């Protein structure tokens, strides 16, 4: 059995991905995760961490689920509610190598689609309410147990003015209790409700989440990108100006002059590719790159690249590849030769073995990344 049970990645993609849920018992046998409540609570107190708690107040309607957003000053594990309470922390991979190692198991989905790894800790009865997400997600049970119910009736109406987006009506079609190592895949817009079941262990659920930009976001960002790229030289000019019959009219000649100025906003597939690579590797607002505490000078850095060990992406870095171009943290670089081969592998696996044969310019490029805290050598 594998992560996808009896399915191959190709079968999973054609039968389930973005189509229908899949439950896999013992997807990762014995999985309990690498964080417990105390570590998660500590993380939730850091300023560069996106965390929230959701409390089921037991009230009716919009007030049922209360949301509190982090970072939290000090989350005392011994003093959190004994039940009906959940702590959720996003972006775990930015803080632990083991987070990326877990995400790497899902590499049958291209890295361009990966959003983040989230962990929730729920006390018995804890849940974020019946809801749907706009993204694909694998819900992998760590320690403890959680009852998942799903609805597939497509009724996505939500309660107005609620802290937490919850469904007005939720009619479960199927339900399962997930044990450590069990996993549930959900495509976007499938109603689901996961409630922690009392057990000897705390309920920790690991969400491998994917992102899909809304078309509105793509259009908005692409126009901004084109605007920045096309620096628009020249000014509106009309030496051929004619007296108009009605001076208040915007005549065709005026519109045509503006149209000509906007012709700079043309694009082709490669321009879209540049935009896509930059967008998908661009750091999230919460990301803070840590510059190395002991930065190497270029000569020492070159020596490391020529030695043994590993070249790796820093935990906050995102790298994607296309042809002769590498995208790293929202920037684009042209690469060739052995550097290209090494960086392609880095984009695929986040770590490659040294040595890497590079010329002086290429050392300079990589050294710049080292100084910005984007890559690690060692
Ligand atoms: C949770 O882990 O509590 C919520 C995850 C989800 O429903 O998407
Ligand atoms: Co959800």
- The side-by-side arrangement of strands in the sheet containing 331-334 is 319-322, 325-328, 331-334
Asked if residue 187 lies in contact with residue 144, where contact means CB atoms within 8 angstroms, the answer is no
Q: What is the CB neighbour count within 10 angstroms for residue 297?
A: 10
Asked if residue 206 lies in contact with residue 142, where contact means CB atoms within 8 angstroms, the answer is yes
Ligand 1: centre distance to CA 128 (Å): 7
DSSP 296: P
Q: Does residue 125 have its Cβ closer than 6 Å to ligand 1?
A: no
Ligand 2: centre distance to CA 188 (Å): 9
Q: Does residue 149 have its Cβ closer than 6 Å to ligand 1?
A: no
Backbone angles phi, psi at 4, to 5 degrees: -105, 25
The pLDDT assigned to 69 comes to: 96
The pLDDT assigned to 234 comes to: 85
Ligand 1: centre distance to CA 212 (Å): 18
Q: What percentage of the chain reaches a pLDDT higher than 70?
A: 99
* CATH (residue range 9-210): 2.60.120.650
Name every residue whose Cβ is closer than 8 Å to that of residue 28 and which is 6 or more positions away in sequence: 3, 105, 140, 181, 183
The pLDDT assigned to 337 comes to: 95
Q: Does residue 120 have its Cβ closer than 6 Å to ligand 1?
A: yes
User: Atom 1, ligand 1: which residue's CA is nearest?
Assistant: 120
Q: Does residue 54 have its Cβ closer than 6 Å to ligand 1?
A: no
Choosing from 194, 196, 206, 210 the residue with most ligand 1 atoms within 8 A of its CB, the one to mutate for a pocket test is: 194
Choosing from 123, 128, 133 the residue with most ligand 1 atoms within 8 A of its CB, the one to mutate for a pocket test is: 128
Q: State the closest ligand 1 atom to the C-alpha of 192, by its place in the atom list counted from 1.
A: 7
User: Atom 2, ligand 1: which residue's CA is nearest?
Assistant: 120
Instruction: Going residue by residue through the chain, which has 378 residues, state the pLDDT in tens, using 9 for 90 and above.
Output: 589 999 999 999 999 999 999 999 999 999 999 999 999 999 999 999 999 999 999 999 999 999 999 989 888 999 999 999 999 999 999 999 999 999 999 999 999 999 999 999 999 999 999 999 999 999 999 999 999 999 988 899 999 999 999 999 999 999 999 999 999 999 999 999 999 999 999 999 999 999 999 999 999 999 999 988 777 778 999 999 999 999 999 999 999 999 998 887 889 999 999 999 999 999 999 899 999 999 999 999 999 999 999 999 999 999 999 999 999 999 999 999 999 999 999 999 999 999 999 999 999 999 999 999 999 998
Helix, coil or strand: residue 271: helix
How do residues 196-251 score in pLDDT, each as one tens digit? 999 999 999 999 999 999 999 999 999 999 988 777 778 999 999 999 999 999 99
Ligand that comes closest to the CA of residue 195: 1
The pLDDT assigned to 152 comes to: 87
Asked if residue 41 lies in contact with residue 204, where contact means CB atoms within 8 angstroms, the answer is no
Which of 349, 350, 319 has its CA nearest to residue 335?
319
Asked if residue 119 lies in contact with residue 35, where contact means CB atoms within 8 angstroms, the answer is yes
Q: Does residue 40 have its Cβ closer than 6 Å to ligand 1?
A: no
How do residues 140-156 score in pLDDT, each as one tens digit? 999 999 999 999 888 99
What fold is seen in the domain 298-377? Malonyl-Coenzyme A Acyl Carrier Protein; domain 2 (3.40.366)
Which of 264, 267, 260, 262 has its CA nearest to residue 222?
267
How do residues 118-136 score in pLDDT, each as one tens digit? 999 999 999 999 999 999 9
Q: Does residue 128 have its Cβ closer than 6 Å to ligand 1?
A: yes
Residue extents of the structural domains in the chain: 9-210, 215-242+249-266, 298-377
The pLDDT assigned to 105 comes to: 98
Q: Does residue 317 have its Cβ closer than 6 Å to ligand 1?
A: no
Q: State the closest ligand 1 atom to the C-alpha of 193, by its place in the atom list counted from 1.
A: 7
Q: Kindly report the length of the chain.
A: 378
- Whose tokens are 């044969």? That residue is 357
pTM: 0.94
Give the containing element (helix H, strand E) for 138: strand 137-141
User: Atom 4, ligand 1: which residue's CA is nearest?
Assistant: 128
Asked if residue 375 lies in contact with residue 313, where contact means CB atoms within 8 angstroms, the answer is yes
Choosing from 54, 88, 204 the residue with most ligand 1 atoms within 8 A of its CB, the one to mutate for a pocket test is: 88
- Whose tokens are 């080292």? That residue is 370
| Domains 9-210 and 298-377 belong to one CATH topology | no
Backbone angles phi, psi at 150, to 5 degrees: -130, 150
Name every residue whose Cβ is closer than 8 Å to that of residue 226 and which is 6 or more positions away in sequence: 265, 267, 271
Backbone angles phi, psi at 180, to 5 degrees: -50, 130
Nearest-angstrom CA–CA distance, 280 and 211: 10
Q: Does residue 86 have its Cβ closer than 6 Å to ligand 1?
A: yes
């Amino acid at each position: 059995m594998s992560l996808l049970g009896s399915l191959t990645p190709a079968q999973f993609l054609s039968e389930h991905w973005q189509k229908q849920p899949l439950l896999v018992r013992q997807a990762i046998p014995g999985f309990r995760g690498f964080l417990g409540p105390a570590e998660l609570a500590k993380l939730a107190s850091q300023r560069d961490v996106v965390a929230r708690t959701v409390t089921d107040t037991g009230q009716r309607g919009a007030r049922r689920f209360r949301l509190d957003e982090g970072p939290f000053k000090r989350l005392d594990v011994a003093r959190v509610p004994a039940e009906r309470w959940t702590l959720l922390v996003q972006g775990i991979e930015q803080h632990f190598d083991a987070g990326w190692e877990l995400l790497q198991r899902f590499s049958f989905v291209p890295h361009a689609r990966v959003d983040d790894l989230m962990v929730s800790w729920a006390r018995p009865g804890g849940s974020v309410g019946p809801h749907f997400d706009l993204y694909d997600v694998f819900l992998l049970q760590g320690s403890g147990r959680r009852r998942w119910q799903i609805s597939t009736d497509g009724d996505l109406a939500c309660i107005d003015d609620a802290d937490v987006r919850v469904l007005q009506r939720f009619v479960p079609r199927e339900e399962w209790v997930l044990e450590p190592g069990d996993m549930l895949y959900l495509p976007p817009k499938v109603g689901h409700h996961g409630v922690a079941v009392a057990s000897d262990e705390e309920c920790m659920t690991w969400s491998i989440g994917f992102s899909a930009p809304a078309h509105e976001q793509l259009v908005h960002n692409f126009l901004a990108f084109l605007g920045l790229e096309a620096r628009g030289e020249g000014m509106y000019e009309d030496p051929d100006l004619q007296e108009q019959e009605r001076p208040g009219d915007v005549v065709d000649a005026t519109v045509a002059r503006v149209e000509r100025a906007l012709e700079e906003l043309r694009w082709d597939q490669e321009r879209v590719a540049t935009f896509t690579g930059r967008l998908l590797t661009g750091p999230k607002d919460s990301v803070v790159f840590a510059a190395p505490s002991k930065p190497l000078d270029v000569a020492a850095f070159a020596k490391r690249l020529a030695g043994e060990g590993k070249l790796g992406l820093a935990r906050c870095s995102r790298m994607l590849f296309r042809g002769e171009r590498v995208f790293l943290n929202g920037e684009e670089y042209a690469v060739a030769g052995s550097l290209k081969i090494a960086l392609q592998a880095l984009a695929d696996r986040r770590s490659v073995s040294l040595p890497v044969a590079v010329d002086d310019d290429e050392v300079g490029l990589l050294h710049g990344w080292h100084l910005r805290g984007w890559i690690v050598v060692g």
